[in-house]
Amino acid sequence: MIRYRLICSQDHEFDAWFRDGAGYERQIKRQQVICPHCGDVDVTKAVMAPGIVSSAGADKFAEAKAHEVARRILAAVGKLRDNVEQECEYVGEQFAEEARAIHYGDTEERGIFGEATDDEAAGLEDEGIEFFRLPGRPQRRDN
């Protein structure tokens, strides 16, 4: 995993994690990286400096910052999920089969979403079929 400091065209800075540099490039190219502050997809790498802890209160600050970042990430993922659900066709458990058909030109090219097992996802990756996993909506707890 690699972490990049990113900046959108509206000058909002945020951190994001990627599997590797190629994963970052692929997601940027497909406009899948979204600013958690404003939803902008015009995102690039920001200048990064090493982080240095300078006080005992840094842990509390880091924890509060982590909670805020998590909240913003969940909001951005929610926006992305809403966009996918509005713009793409739901194919349910036929996702892997339909993704292959689109990839190999057996059916019309279009945006789809649905479910796939880990084995099905691994098979798609092995075949070079591009897709990304979108986490489910968080479940609210009443406690």
pTM of the predicted protein model: 0.53
Question: Rounded to 5 degrees, what are φ and ψ at 85?
Answer: -65, -30
Within-domain flag for 32: yes
Residue 102 falls inside a structural domain: yes
Q: Considering the domain boundaries, does residue 142 fall inside one? A: no
For residue 106, what pLDDT is reported?
Answer: 97
Query: What was the pLDDT predicted at 25?
Result: 93
Between CA 131 and CA 113 the distance in angstroms is 9
97 located within any domain: yes
Number of domains in the chain: 2
The tens digit of pLDDT for each residue in 47-101 reads 876 655 556 566 677 777 788 888 888 888 889 989 999 999 999 999 999 999 9
Domain that holds residue 30: 1-46
When pLDDT is averaged across residues 102-124 and rounded to a whole number, the result is: 95
Model pLDDT, residue 95:
96
User: Is 67 within a domain?
Assistant: no
Alpha-helix runs per DSSP H in 8-57: 21-29
β pairing state of 13-18 and 43-45: unpaired
